């Protein structure tokens, strides 16, 4: 059984937990302890996993990642008006090789996905996203990956995987189940023009830091359409992380990164969430804990308004353009919008779930004025490739 690779939560964390009030998050979670072993997962909907792996980090890291401070800060947070059962399954220690760690993380993530449990992975280097992505191989579906990052993480050399270049391996390796890759918060000066051009060539999506911070609601549809969300904590500005190592002056602030985590949590489609490149300060541990809290809160407020079960749940709007009619759908439950990409003859079954895309009311209004939404064009072109 894959969960046997997990090590218990450290006793110092459990000792702190015993002193917390009964309303604290740590008091209601099912925790993997040395005394009681791996908890029963019957009814569990979300599971937290630490991964002590930093060997592929481009910046030298001394020793393994210590998740103790993150857990202490997370456990002390108070519950919202929540209904979900949450487990902390402990840690995956680094294997003899980096590939061993990938294998274990992939296996455990796949097991949780099969049991309809959302893994929340707190890890070292960002390349662990690759291991989580590979867990979807047997799901027989195309995967949408959303990454909150200042960089695109493509390789500029023959090296296909490290902390900052794992995306090249995802794109090139078979089986290739990646339908869409979206980067939220990229900073242009950290990315070569060739990388920006490659994103366009592959019909992927990218949102610059400035446009997201100017109106963070523009990325809500991105997370509503994602299967796997990966957050690089280096996308958060240094001042918000207590000026930890390997951080930058520009990035998201605490409020913005927590709002992004809530968008991911509230998405009915997201089945995996990862926080990587976690930092080594108390302030960073507190923010990481709060990001997880907001993801949990988002999950507990999922609307479950997609897929549409009956016509009473939505209104359909048809916008006639020059050569095509574009159909929009508005949920009567959440007031959120979707746009339909027309079915293509002999379409691969893996693509069928991508023919209805989350969008915004603004895109509907622009289509009504004759502008075809860019997300519609990109999805349509990807299905033709």
Do the beta carbons of residue 202 and residue 316 sit within 8 Å?
A: no
pLDDT for 64:
57
pLDDT digits (tens, 9 = 90+) for 186-198: 999 999 898 899 9
pLDDT for 321:
85
Q: Which of 51, 4, 13, 45 is nearest to 31 (CA)?
A: 13
pLDDT digits (tens, 9 = 90+) for 77-120: 999 889 899 999 999 998 888 899 999 999 999 999 999 999 99
Q: Model confidence at 130, in pLDDT bands (50, 70, 90)?
A: very high
Q: Which of 49, 78, 13 is nearest to 290 (CA)?
A: 78
Q: Kindly report the number of other CB atoms within 10 A of residue 82's CB atom.
A: 14
**Which structure tokens are listed for 317?**
């709007």
Q: Model confidence at 289, in pLDDT bands (50, 70, 90)?
A: very high
- Domains within the chain, CATH numbers bracketed: 2-300 (3.40.800.10), 311-384 (no CATH)
DSSP 26-74: HHHSEE-BTTTBSPP-TT--EEEEEEE--TT-SS---S----HHHHHHH
pLDDT for 318:
95
Is residue 214 predicted with pLDDT exceeding 70? yes
pLDDT for 147:
97
Q: Model confidence at 352, in pLDDT bands (50, 70, 90)?
A: low
Q: What is the mean pLDDT of the chain?
A: 90
Q: Which of 336, 371, 353, 372 is nearest to 179 (CA)?
A: 353
d(CA 59, CA 279): 12
Q: What percent of the chain has pLDDT over 70?
A: 91
- Give the three-class secondary structure for 167: helix
pLDDT digits (tens, 9 = 90+) for 51-73: 988 877 654 444 557 799 999 99
The better pLDDT of the pair 169, 293 is held by 293
The better pLDDT of the pair 160, 83 is held by 83
Q: Which of 339, 337, 347 is nearest to 372 (CA)?
A: 339
Is residue 27 predicted with pLDDT exceeding 90? yes
- Give the three-class secondary structure for 371: coil
Question: What is the Cα gyration radius of the chain?
Answer: 21
pLDDT for 160:
46
pLDDT for 347:
56
d(CA 112, CA 206): 29
Do the beta carbons of residue 381 and residue 203 sit within 8 Å?
A: yes
Instruction: Determine the average pLDDT of the residues in 285-306.
Output: 95
Is residue 157 predicted with pLDDT exceeding 60? no
DSSP 228-293: EEEEEGGGBBGGGGTS-SS-BSSSB-HHHHHHHHHHHHH-SS--EEEEES--SSHHHHHHHHHHHH
């Amino acid at each position: 059984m894959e969960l046997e690779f997990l090590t218990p939560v450290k006793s110092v964390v459990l000792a702190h937990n015993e002193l917390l009030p009964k309303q604290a998050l740590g008091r209601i979670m099912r925790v993997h302890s040395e005394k009681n072993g791996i908890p029963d997962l019957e009814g569990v909907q979300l599971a937290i996993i630490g991964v002590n792996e930093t060997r592929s980090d481009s910046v030298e890291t001394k020793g393994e990642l210590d998740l103790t401070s993150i857990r202490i800060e997370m456990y002390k947070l108070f519950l919202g008006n929540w209904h979900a059962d949450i487990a902390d399954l402990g840690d995956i220690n680094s294997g003899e090789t980096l590939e061993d760690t990938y294998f274990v993380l992939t296996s455990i993530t796949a097991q949780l996905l099969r049991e309809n449990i959302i893994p929340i992975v707190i890890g070292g280097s960002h390349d662990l996203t690759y291991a989580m992505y590979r867990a979807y191989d047997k799901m027989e579906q195309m995967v949408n990956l959303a990454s909150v990052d200042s960089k695109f993480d493509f390789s500029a050399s023959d090296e296909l995987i490290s902390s900052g270049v794992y995306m090249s391996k995802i794109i090139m390796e078979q089986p290739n189940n990646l339908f869409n890759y979206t980067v939220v918060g990229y900073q242009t000066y950290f990315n070569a023009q060739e990388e920006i051009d490659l994103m366009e060539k592959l019909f992927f999506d990218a949102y610059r830091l400035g446009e997201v911070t100017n109106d963070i609601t523009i990325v809500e549809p991105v997370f509503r359409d994602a299967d796997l969300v990966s957050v690089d904590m280096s996308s958060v500005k240094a001042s918000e992380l207590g000026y930890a190592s390997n951080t930058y002056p520009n990035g998201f602030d605490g409020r913005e990164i927590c709002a992004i985590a809530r968008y991911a949590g509230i998405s009915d489609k997201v089945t995996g969430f990862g926080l990587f490149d976690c930092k080594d300060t108390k302030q960073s541990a507190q923010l990481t804990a709060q990001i997880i809290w907001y993801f949990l809160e988002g999950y507990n407020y999922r609307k479950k308004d997609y897929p549409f079960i009956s016509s009473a749940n939505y209104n359909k709007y048809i916008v006639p353009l020059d050569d095509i009619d574009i159909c929009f759908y508005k949920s009567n439950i959440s007031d959120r919008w979707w746009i339909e990409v027309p079915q293509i003859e002999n379409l691969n079954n893996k693509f069928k779930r991508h023919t209805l895309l989350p969008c915004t009311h603004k895109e509907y209004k622009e289509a009504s004025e004759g502008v075809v939404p860019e997300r519609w064009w990109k999805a349509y072109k990807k299905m033709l490739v």
